[in-house]
Structure 1
């Protein structure tokens, strides 16, 4: 199966449980492309057009910052969606980041 990198990213992102977040880098590492976190970010930019839906709001940077918020309309939507799932956010940063962090390398059984 020759699945595009973006689609592989979307498959991982769809597995992130509600109320949890992961990082661009963690997704990249789980795909065996540890130095491709920027490409994961680019994929998330276009996630709104993917089907089935991709919960792109659950993907943040490695320190819990909502760096992708400007790709949401309006930008505040990313934070609102996280808060609806019980993720605490303050000043565009996920609080208790380590507690709510979902590591695909530990959670996905291949």
Structure 2
């Protein structure tokens, strides 16, 4: 992954407000990399203490569910961080896009 790509993803993710979520594909699109959803996952996986202000936990899958299997950024930690920001999960572990979603497609600038 290029430094340019990582920088774009991290800078865009820094714009996601507390208490909101975004999915991998929308984050890629907002950063100027449409179609790079999987690469976003890899970029988030490579985050370390060097980037404490990048809220990786605000990125969930397109269904509104946590999908990480990273041993460093665990699903349990992600859920705890989201709940600490006031995000609620339903009984099946889904988050409401209508209530917590950031950047509806119509809001994106092209």
Q: Same fold (TM over 0.5)?
A: yes
**Which contiguous aligned blocks of 4+ residues in structure 1 show a shift greater than 4 angstroms?**
71-74
User: In 2, distance between residues paired with 1:18 and 1:31?
Assistant: 18
Equivalence for 2:7: 7
**Corresponding residue SS for 1:78:** helix
Could you state the TM-score of these two structures normalised by the residue count of structure 1? Answer: 0.80
**Corresponding residue SS for 1:93:** coil
Instruction: Using the TM superposition, name which of 35-44 and 50-59 deviates more.
Output: 50-59
Count of residues in Structure 1 that have an aligned counterpart in Structure 2: 107
Equivalence for 1:84: 84
Gapped regions of structure 2 (runs ≥ 5): none
Once the two structures are superposed, what CA deviation does each residue of 1:36-67 show, in whole Å capped at 9, x if it has no partner? 11011111111234435210000011111101
Gapped regions of structure 1 (runs ≥ 5): none
**Corresponding residue SS for 2:38:** helix
The answer to whether the Cα contact below 8 Å between 1:58 and 1:82 also exists between their aligned partners in 2 is yes
- Cα RMSD (Å): 2.6
Could you state the TM-score of these two structures normalised by the residue count of structure 2? Answer: 0.80
Instruction: Using the TM superposition, name which of 34-43 and 67-76 deviates more.
Output: 67-76
Equivalence for 1:53: 53
The answer to whether the Cα contact below 8 Å between 1:79 and 1:92 also exists between their aligned partners in 2 is no
